[in-house]
């Protein structure tokens, strides 16, 4: 079963709710937060890309043309 975007974003908070506070240590988490922000941007970009591919298909662009623009094969574009 694949996780939804909401599940992936909710997972760290659910972990934080379950962890024993006595086990926590003060840590510099800036690098980890940077990863979180970049992952969110990636999800947004993936959504935008999927919408652009759907728009191209509605405009009767071929999978070959879309594949060229994505830098992938026609078959890979068809799967997207």
- Total of domains in the chain: 1
pTM of the model: 0.60
Q: How confident is the model at residue 52 (pLDDT cuts 50, 70, 90)?
A: very high
More confident of the two residues 73 and 4: 73
Percent of the chain with pLDDT over 90: 49
Say if 20 falls within a structural domain. Answer: no
Burial label, 53 (beta-carbon count in 10 A; 0-12, 13-18, 19+): middle
Look at residue 7 and tell me if it is in a domain: no
Instruction: Measure the CA–CA gap between 21 and 27, rounded to whole angstroms.
Output: 13
Q: Which residue has the tokens 């405009």?
A: 59
Residue 1: predicted pLDDT: 46
Range of the domain at 56: 31-80
Q: List pLDDT tens digits, range 2-41.
A: 667 778 878 888 888 888 888 878 778 888 899 989 999 9
């Amino acid at each position: 079963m694949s996780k939804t975007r909401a599940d992936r974003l909710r997972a760290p908070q659910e972990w934080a709710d379950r962890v024993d506070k006595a086990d926590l240590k003060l840590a510099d988490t800036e690098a980890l937060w940077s990863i979180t922000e970049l992952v969110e941007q990636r999800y947004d970009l993936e959504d935008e890309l999927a919408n652009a591919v759907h728009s191209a298909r509605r405009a009767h662009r071929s999978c070959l043309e879309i594949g060229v623009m994505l830098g992938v094969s026609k078959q890979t574009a068809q799967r997207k």
